[in-house]
Amino acid sequence: MRIPQLIAVLVVGLVAAACGPDRDDAVTNGETAADTEALPTGAHELVLRMDYSPGFARVPETAPFPAFSLYGDGRIVTADIDVNAPAAPGGWQRARELRTDSAGIRRLVRAAHATGLQDTTEPSGTASTGTPADATSARFVLLDGKNGRHSRTVAAPEAHGDARGELFRALSDPAAWLGGTVQTAPYRADALAVLRRDEPASDPAARPWPVGALDFPGTRLGSGQRVMTCVVLHGESAAAVTARAADVPQYSPWTDGSHTATLELRPLLPDENDCPDLPGPPR
């Protein structure tokens, strides 16, 4: 081989080697470049979510704050839910947000793909047959621009030693799992959903409601004994309630002076606009 030809081969080889890691990021565990290109990219477009239920360790909320939400621009919103403190304030009151880059998004999606989530057709909220009612459970939801929405509910995800357990660990502590220096900050929502269940009598322990009448009309959410009326607050009203409820457990009584109600409070996430957008607990 002539010297010029040898140099050309070496240059091509070096270029290919330099490009190797990027291709490996996009093609791993069955994921193709097309899969990566199909992911949502918008700031309000959901890519991956985990809803977590602690079973009987805590009264299930009608519209629980998801434990993990990843958006197309790399924004991540998490909620720390303490299953050992059922009377503690809701997970939304300890919600945090952080950001990752495109490589971090691909790593998280690959972890979801390793569980086969992209191939599931299970209806959202459906648990595996034989799942104990008191077991913890996690509902994983993956969205892409090619095949739509994929959902799977896994019982006792923390006990799995396979890809499902790895995905649960990744989404439970994304800052540690992604590595590097990841800055987190409290999550500040633009709107707050208020879910009301009317109480037949006044309660001396009821807290004063800061924004008008409690007997507001709204959208009915939930089923059976857990049906609640939902309305969304914005701006100063949302800020006033959020500040007043900073250390108040969910389902605490509130009063406007003439009406008493038990409330569940739920900040909206970037992909949510109104009460019907709120997902129920995994079942």
End-to-end alpha carbon distance in the chain: 67
Q: What is the pLDDT of residue 83?
A: 46
In angstroms, rounded to a whole number, what is the distance separating the alpha carbons of residues 220 and 215? 13
In this prediction the pTM is 0.80
Residue 81 identity (one-letter amino acid):
I
Report which DSSP code applies to 69. Answer: E
Q: Is the pLDDT of residue 256 over 70?
A: yes
Which residues have a Cβ under 8 Å from the Cβ of 145 and sit 6 or more positions away?
A: 38, 39, 40
For residue 123, pLDDT over 60 is answered with no
CB 26 within 8 A of CB 106: yes
Round to whole Å and give the CA distance between 15 and 178.
Answer: 27
Q: Provide the residue ranges of all domains of the chain, joining segments of one domain with +.
A: 3-29, 37-186, 191-277
- At 148 the pLDDT is 78
Check whether domain 37-186 has CATH 3.30.1560, yes or no: yes
Average pLDDT over residues 123-149: 63
- Are the beta carbons of 233 and 191 closer than 8 angstroms? yes
Lowest mean pLDDT among 90-94, 109-113, 131-135: 131-135
Q: Tell me: the pLDDT tens digits for 144-178?
A: 766 678 888 888 777 778 899 999 999 999 999 99
In angstroms, how far is CA 248 from the centroid of its own chain?
21
pLDDT, mean of residues 181-190: 84
Residue 147 CA to chain centroid, in angstroms? 20
Span 51-109, pLDDT tens digits: 887 766 556 678 888 999 999 999 999 986 554 444 455 567 778 999 999 999 999 99
Minimum mean pLDDT range among 90-94, 131-135, 193-197, 222-226: 131-135
Q: Give per-residue pLDDT as tens, 16-56.
A: 334 433 434 433 444 554 455 578 889 999 999 998 877 66
Residue 258 has pLDDT above 50, yes or no: yes
Q: Return mean pLDDT, the chain.
A: 78
Q: Where are the beta strands (DSSP E) in the chain?
A: 46-53, 68-71, 75-78, 96-99, 137-144, 148-155, 185-186, 191-198, 207-208, 219-221, 228-234, 252-255, 260-267
Where b means 16+ CB within 10 Å and e means fewer, 64-98 reads bbbbbbbbbbbbbbbbebeeeeeebbbbbbbbebb
| Tokens of residue 228, six digits | 């609640």
Would you say the C-alpha torsion 228, 261, 92, 273 has a positive or negative sign?
A: positive
Q: Name which of 125, 63, 129, 118 is nearest 90 in CA terms.
A: 63
Model pLDDT, residue 167: 94
Mean pLDDT computed over 247-258:
90
Q: In sequence order, what DSSP letters do the residues of 238-255 get, joined into one string? A: HHHHHHHTTTPBTTEEEE
